[in-house]
Structure 1
Amino acid sequence: MEKEQRQITQTLDFTGLFRFVFIILYGHDFASRLVMKGFDLNTIREILGHSDIKITMRYAHMAPQKKRTKINMLD
């Protein structure tokens, strides 16, 4: 696994894509963690600098339990 990661990193670095992929992956991880911690999507949109909420909506699937929690509040 380490060998494959190193090969991927070297290939991406060689093609100049490493920085781009790094930013995308860690941005996705950061946003996913914010959703799982309970941040609302509009706040995440502002933090990430997304101009359109549709971009941020990609992370909404990370917190399906939030729907259940909100519905249970009605009881």
Structure 2
Amino acid sequence: MDDIVFTLEFSDTTARDKANSYLQKGWKLLSVGPVCVDVMDNGQADYEMSYVLGANAEQYAEYQKENSDNAIQDIEDFLNNN
């Protein structure tokens, strides 16, 4: 675990798919377990599974590049459609 430089946590309804996508890229699964995402008016808690994954420096650099590319594309799409 010494090579982990960045972690991500997924705990929404698509968390499993997102976690599996990063596992296929070689990220390490650090933790899995339920997490409270909401408390209803009646006091009942709503839980989702939480997946925590860790990346080494190379994987983190790729993650940053992908997110930067996606952000640029999102801006371009917005400007072209408005």
TM-score by length of 1: 0.38
Which structure dedicates a bigger proportion of its chain to helix?
Answer: 1
Which structure dedicates a bigger proportion of its chain to strand?
Answer: 2
TM-score by length of 2: 0.35
